C-alpha cells in the first residue's frame, strides 16, 4: 500500500467519492486550478471538470448556503473553507438551515452536505488561521462534527461524511496535514462515524483527544509507558454525536481520565466529556478528571502559539498526577 | 439611473445602466398601457383574483386566531397579495419556490393547504411538511438567508441540465444583507436559472426604505451582479405575473438570472406582534389603501364585464367556507407526542440522543 500524507488522503477520498457518485460536487475558494490552498483538491478539476470542482467567489456564507441548496436537490456538495477562522460567516447557514433542514421539514427535504475546513494552530499562520472552535459546532443539534487524526481515518471518515445523509462539518488537522503519513488503500471503504477509535489500550489512565493533538497525546503515552504507566488513548474522531460508550467503558477500566484539546478551556468539548464522566461514571473514578487544553486566550500569533498548545510535558504531568491521586 | 447624479467631469462613460418600471393597471383599475396576452384569458385573471381574495380572507382569520390565543405570531400579507400570487402563477410545478415567511399566497397557489400554513404558525413543524411541490422550500425566517439556497438549487438544475427555475422571494430588508448579494453575484457569474423577487413593501418592521438603502431602486442592485433588474408595480397583479413570466422564461431558456423589485405597501403590521402605528401614520396607510391590489383588479374585471356582483358574493362564501374548514382541521390536529421532536433530527437517531428520546417518552432515565 502506498504511504500518503493526511492531506493526500483527503484528496484520495474526494476523488474516490466523485468517481463513485456523479452527484458529488466540490466547491470553494481556489479549489479548482490551484487545487486548494493546502492542495487538498489538487488534480480534481482536471479530472472532473470545472462544473463539479467549482471555484466560487470569495464568499464563505455563499459556499455554505450553496451547499444547502444543492443538497436539498439531492446532490452531495463538499464545500471547502480555507481556514477555520473564516468559517464564521457559515455559522448562520449551519445553525439555521443545514443542521435543521430535515427536522423543520419533517424529513421532506434533507441536507446531505459536507463542509471541510482546516482546524487548529501550529503552522505559523497569520491571525485568524489557527482556530479550533469545534465545541461551538458540536453544540449544534442535527450536525455531525468529525475530526480525523491520521491519513487512514481522514480517507475513511471523509468518505463516510460524504455518504452520510445528514450535514457534516469535517475538520482537518492542519498541523499534521503533511506531518502525518500512513498507508492508505484507496479501496472506497468508509470508516464508521459516531465511533471513537482506541489507538492504544491501557489499564491505568485514559487519555482522550482528537485531531492533531493525538500526536502529543500518543507521545505522552510513550513517555508514561517508560514510567510503567499504561495509558489508554482514545481518538474521539466524531465529536457530534460522540461515542459515550467507548469513553465510559474506558473509564470503568482505568478510573482515571485526562482530556487533551488544543481549543480554549472554557466551554471546550473537554468540559462535555468531563460532565458525562461525572454524571455516569463517578463511582469508577479514582482521581478527578483532568483537562489539558489551550489557555483561555485569543490564539497567539506565530511567536507564542506553541505555548498555548498542550505539550507532551503538560499531558504527562496531568496523567502522572491523576495516577498518583489516592 | 444613478449615473445622472454621479457623473464625473469630462471623463468618458464606459457603462450606463437603466432600470425599467412595469405597470399596466392604474390604482382605479383603468389601463395604463396595452395588457399582456394572458390578460385576455378571463379564467386566468379571475383565478388570480380568487387567489388574492382567498389570501385576504385567510389573513383576516389568522389574525383573529392569533388575537384569541389559538395561533402564534403570524405575518400578514395585507396589501401585497399581488406579489406572491402573481409570481407563483407564472411558475411551473417543477420549478422550486424558496419563500420568505410572508409569501403565503405563493404557497397556497402551489397547492399548500391552508391548514398546513396554520399548523406552521401554530407552532407545529408538520406545517412545513406541506402538500404542494415536494422540493419547494419551507418558509425562511432568517431574512434573506434562503437566497444562497436558491443559487444552489439553480446550480443543481444547471448541472443536471434540467429546464427548471428556482424562484427566491424576500423583502426589501433582505436586500441589505450580504447573503442576497452573494447569491445574486454567484448566479450572475454562472448565469443560473434563478429569479430573485424582492417585495419592497416600504418597511422592514419599523425601518423605512430610505434608511434601508441609498439606492433609488432596489432593482438596480442586479446591475452589480451582472443581470437585469426590473421594477414592477407590486400592487398590479397583471404586471407581477407578466414580469415573473418573462423572468422565469428567460431563466429557463438559459439566459441567466433576473431580479424583480415588486414595489408595494404593507398595509398591515409586520406581524401580529408588531404595532405599525408606532412608526408610521394612519394617514399614510389610509392613502395607500387607494392603491391596493384586490380592488384594483376587481375594478378592471368589472369594467370588462369579466366579473359580476353575483360572482363576488359566491366567491366570498367560498372563501369563508374554505378558511373555516381549514381552521377546523387545524384546531382538530392533535399535537405530536413530545418525543417525536427527535424523529427527524438525523436520518438515523444516534444512540446518545435515542436515550434522551426514551427519557422524554417516559421510557427510561437517560
| pLDDT score recorded for residue B6 | 57
**Active-site annotation holds for B190:** no
Bridge partners, B168 (sequence order):
B98, B196
Q: How far apart are CA B150 and CA A24, in angstroms?
A: 18
Whether B101 contacts chain A with CB within 8 A: no
Residues 214-273 of A with CB under 8 A from B: 241-242, 244-245
B186:A69 CB<8 A:
no
Tens-digit pLDDT profile for residues B111-139: 999 999 999 999 999 999 988 999 999 99
Q: Is A326 on the interface with B (CB under 8 A)?
A: no
Do A241 and B353 make contact, defined as CB atoms within 8 angstroms? yes
Contact criterion met (CB < 8 Å) for A59 and B154: no
Q: Does A91 touch chain B (CB under 8 A)?
A: no
Chain B residues 172-201 with CB within 8 Å of chain A: 178-179, 182-183, 185-186, 189
Interchain contact, B344 vs A93, CB within 8 Å: no
Question: What confidence tens digit (pLDDT) does each residue in B291-341 have?
Answer: 999 999 999 999 999 999 999 999 999 999 999 999 999 999 999 999 999
Q: What angle do CA A174, A175, A181 make, to 5 degrees?
A: 95
Name, in order, each residue with C-beta under 8 angstroms of A326's C-beta and a sequence gap of 6 or more.
Answer: none
Collect all residues of chain B within an 8 Å Cβ-Cβ radius of residue A71: 152
B351 and A245 within 8 Å at the Cβ level: the answer is: yes
Phi and psi (nearest 5°) for A183?
A: -85, 125
Average pLDDT over residues B247-276: 97
Catalytic annotation present for B266: yes
Q: At residue B364, does pLDDT exceed 80?
A: no
Band (pLDDT 50/70/90 cuts) for residue B3 is very low
How far does CA A186 lie from the centroid of its chain?
A: 21
| A64 contacts B148? CB cut-off 8 A | yes
How far A227 CA lies from chain B's nearest CA (Å)? 36
Whether the CA torsion B82, B84, B87, B92 is positive or negative: it is: negative
User: What are the chain B neighbours of A195 within 8 Å (beta carbons)?
Assistant: none
CB A230 within 8 A of CB A318: no
The span from the CA of B197 to the CA of B87, in Å, is 8
Residue listed under C-alpha cell 482530556: A259
Taking only the tens place, the pLDDT of each residue in B222-238 is: 999 999 999 999 999 99
Q: What angle do CA A182, A188, A189 make, to 5 degrees?
A: 75
In this structure, the number of other CB atoms found within 10 A of the CB of residue B244 comes to: 25
Q: Closest to B129 (Cβ–Cβ): which among A92, A97, A108?
A: A108
The DSSP result for B80-132, as a single string, is -HHHHHHHHHTS-TTSEEE-BTT-HHHHHHTT--HHHHHHHHTT-GGGGS-SS
Q: Which pLDDT belongs to residue B4?
A: 52
* Chain B positions in Cβ-Cβ contact with residue A245 (cut-off 8 Å): 351
Tell me the backbone φ, ψ of residue B111, rounded to 5 degrees.
105, 5
Q: Exposed (0-12), middle (13-18) or buried (19+): which is B355, by Cβ within 10 Å?
A: middle
CA atoms of A160 and A56, how far apart (whole Å): 25
Catalogue the active-site residues of A: 129
Give contacts of A 118-157 with B, CB under 8 A.
Answer: 141-142
Residues of chain A neighbouring B96 (CB-CB closer than 8 A): 73
CA distance A267 to chain B (A): 20
Q: Which residues of chain A have pLDDT under 70?
A: none
Interchain proximity A107–B344, CB inside 8 Å:
yes
Alpha-carbon distance A192 to nearest alpha carbon in chain B (angstroms): 12
Contact list, B135 vs chain A (CB under 8 Å): 72-73, 109
Partners of B145 on chain A (C-beta within 8 Å) are 65, 92-93, 96-97
pLDDT at residue B365 in the model: 59
Minimal Cβ distance to B134: which of A69, A108, A164: A108
Say whether A66 and B154 touch across the interface (CB within 8 A).
no
CB atoms within 10 A of CB A234: 25
Q: Do B183 and A56 touch (CB under 8 A)?
A: no
pLDDT tens by residue, B177-200: 999 999 999 999 999 999 999 999
* B154 touches A at CB < 8 Å: yes
In the prediction, which pLDDT does B2 show? 44
**Mean of the per-residue pLDDT values for chain B?**
96
Burial of B332 (0-12, 13-18, 19+ CB in 10 A): exposed
Angle at alpha carbon of residue B188, lines to A42 and B103, rounded to 5°: 115
Which ranges of B128-236 would DSSP assign to H, the alpha helix? 147-159, 178-190, 209-212, 221-225
Residues of B in Cβ contact (< 8 Å) with A69: 148-156, 166
Please tell me if residue A283 touches chain B, with a CB cutoff of 8 Å.
Answer: no
Name the residue with cell 376587481: B298
How far is residue B302's CA from residue A20's CA, in Å, rounded to a whole number?
61
Tell me the sheet residues that pair with A234.
A198, A208
Amino acid at each position: 500500500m502506498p504511504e500518503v500524507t493526511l492531506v493526500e488522503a483527503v484528496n484520495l477520498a474526494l476523488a474516490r467519492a466523485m468517481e463513485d457518485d456523479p452527484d458529488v460536487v466540490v466547491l470553494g475558494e481556489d479549489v479548482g486550478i490551484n487545487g486548494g490552498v493546502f492542495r487538498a483538491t489538487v488534480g480534481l478539476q482536471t479530472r472532473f471538470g470545472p462544473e463539479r470542482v467549482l471555484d466560487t467567489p470569495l464568499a464563505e456564507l455563499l459556499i455554505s448556503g450553496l451547499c444547502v441548496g444543492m443538497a436539498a436537490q439531492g446532490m452531495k456538495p463538499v464545500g471547502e473553507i480555507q481556514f477555520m477562522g473564516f468559517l464564521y460567516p457559515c455559522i448562520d447557514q449551519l445553525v439555521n438551515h443545514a443542521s435543521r433542514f430535515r427536522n423543520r421539514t419533517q424529513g421532506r427535504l434533507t441536507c446531505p452536505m459536507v463542509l471541510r475546513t482546516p482546524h487548529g494552530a501550529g503552522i505559523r499562520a497569520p491571525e485568524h488561521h489557527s482556530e479550533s472552535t469545534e465545541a461551538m459546532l458540536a453544540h449544534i443539534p442535527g450536525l455531525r462534527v468529525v475530526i480525523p487524526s491520521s491519513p487512514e481515518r481522514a480517507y475513511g471518515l471523509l468518505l463516510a461524511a460524504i455518504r452520510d445523509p445528514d450535514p457534516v462539518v469535517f475538520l482537518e488537522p492542519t498541523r499534521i496535514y503533511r506531518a502525518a503519513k500512513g498507508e492508505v488503500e484507496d479501496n472506497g471503504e468508509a470508516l464508521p462515524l459516531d465511533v471513537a477509535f482506541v489507538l492504544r489500550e491501557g489499564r491505568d489512565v485514559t487519555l482522550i483527544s482528537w485531531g492533531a493533538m493525538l500526536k502529543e497525546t500518543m507521545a505522552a503515552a510513550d513517555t508514561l509507558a517508560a514510567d510503567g504507566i499504561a495509558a489508554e488513548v482514545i481518538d474521539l474522531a466524531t465529536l457530534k454525536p460522540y461515542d459515550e460508550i467507548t469513553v465510559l467503558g474506558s473509564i470503568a477500566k482505568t478510573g482515571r481520565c485526562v482530556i487533551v484539546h488544543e481549543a480554549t478551556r472554557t466551554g471546550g468539548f473537554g468540559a462535555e466529556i468531563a460532565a458525562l464522566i461525572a454524571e455516569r461514571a463517578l463511582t469508577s473514578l479514582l482521581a478527578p478528571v483532568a483537562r489539558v487544553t489551550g489557555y483561555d486566550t485569543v490564539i497567539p500569533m506565530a511567536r507564542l502559539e506553541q505555548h498555548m498548545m498542550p505539550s507532551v510535558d503538560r499531558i504527562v504531568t496531568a496523567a502522572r498526577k491523576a495516577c498518583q491521586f489516592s | 439611473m444613478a449615473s445622472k447624479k454621479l457623473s464625473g467631469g469630462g471623463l468618458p462613460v464606459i457603462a450606463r445602466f437603466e432600470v425599467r418600471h412595469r405597470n399596466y393597471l392604474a390604482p382605479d383599475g383603468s389601463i395604463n398601457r396595452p395588457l399582456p396576452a394572458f390578460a385576455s384569458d378571463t379564467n386566468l385573471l379571475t383565478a388570480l383574483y380568487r387567489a388574492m381574495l382567498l389570501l385576504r380572507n385567510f389573513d383576516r382569520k389568522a389574525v383573529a386566531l392569533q388575537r384569541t390565543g389559538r395561533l402564534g405570531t403570524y405575518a400578514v400579507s395585507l396589501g401585497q397579495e399581488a406579489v406572491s400570487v402573481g409570481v407563483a402563477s407564472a411558475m411551473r410545478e417543477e420549478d422550486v419556490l424558496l419563500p420568505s415567511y410572508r409569501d403565503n399566497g405563493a404557497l397556497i397557489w402551489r397547492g399548500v393547504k391552508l391548514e398546513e400554513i396554520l399548523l406552521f404558525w401554530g407552532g407545529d413543524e408538520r406545517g412545513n411538511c406541506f402538500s404542494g411541490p415536494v422540493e419547494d422550500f419551507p418558509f425562511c425566517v432568517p431574512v434573506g438567508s434562503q437566497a444562497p439556497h436558491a443559487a444552489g438549487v439553480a446550480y443543481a438544475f444547471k448541472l443536471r441540465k434540467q429546464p427548471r427555475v428556482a424562484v427566491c422571494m424576500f423583502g426589501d430588508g433582505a436586500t441589505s444583507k450580504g447573503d442576497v448579494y452573494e447569491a445574486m453575484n454567484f448566479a450572475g457569474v454562472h448565469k443560473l436559472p434563478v429569479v430573485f423577487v424582492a417585495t419592497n413593501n416600504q418597511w422592514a418592521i419599523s425601518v423605512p426604505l430610505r434608511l434601508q438603502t441609498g439606492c433609488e431602486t432596489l432593482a438596480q442592485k442586479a446591475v452589480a451582479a451582472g443581470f437585469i433588474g426590473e421594477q414592477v408595480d407590486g400592487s398590479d397583479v397583471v404586471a407581477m405575473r407578466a414580469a415573473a413570466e418573462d423572468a422565469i422564461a428567460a431563466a429557463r431558456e438559459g439566459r441567466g438570472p433576473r431580479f424583480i423589485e415588486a414595489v408595494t405597501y404593507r398595509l398591515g403590521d409586520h406581524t401580529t406582534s408588531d404595532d405599525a402605528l408606532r412608526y408610521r401614520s394612519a394617514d399614510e396607510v389610509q392613502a395607500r389603501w387607494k392603491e391596493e391590489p384586490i380592488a384594483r383588479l376587481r375594478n378592471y374585471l368589472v369594467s370588462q364585464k369579466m366579473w359580476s356582483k353575483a360572482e363576488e358574493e359566491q366567491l366570498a362564501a367560498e372563501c369563508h367556507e374554505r378558511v373555516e374548514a381549514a381552521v377546523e382541521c387545524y384546531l382538530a390536529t392533535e399535537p405530536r407526542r413530545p418525543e417525536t421532536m427527535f424523529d427527524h433530527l438525523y436520518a438515523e437517531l444516534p444512540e446518545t440522543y435515542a436515550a434522551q428520546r426514551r427519557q422524554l417518552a417516559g421510557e427510561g432515565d437517560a
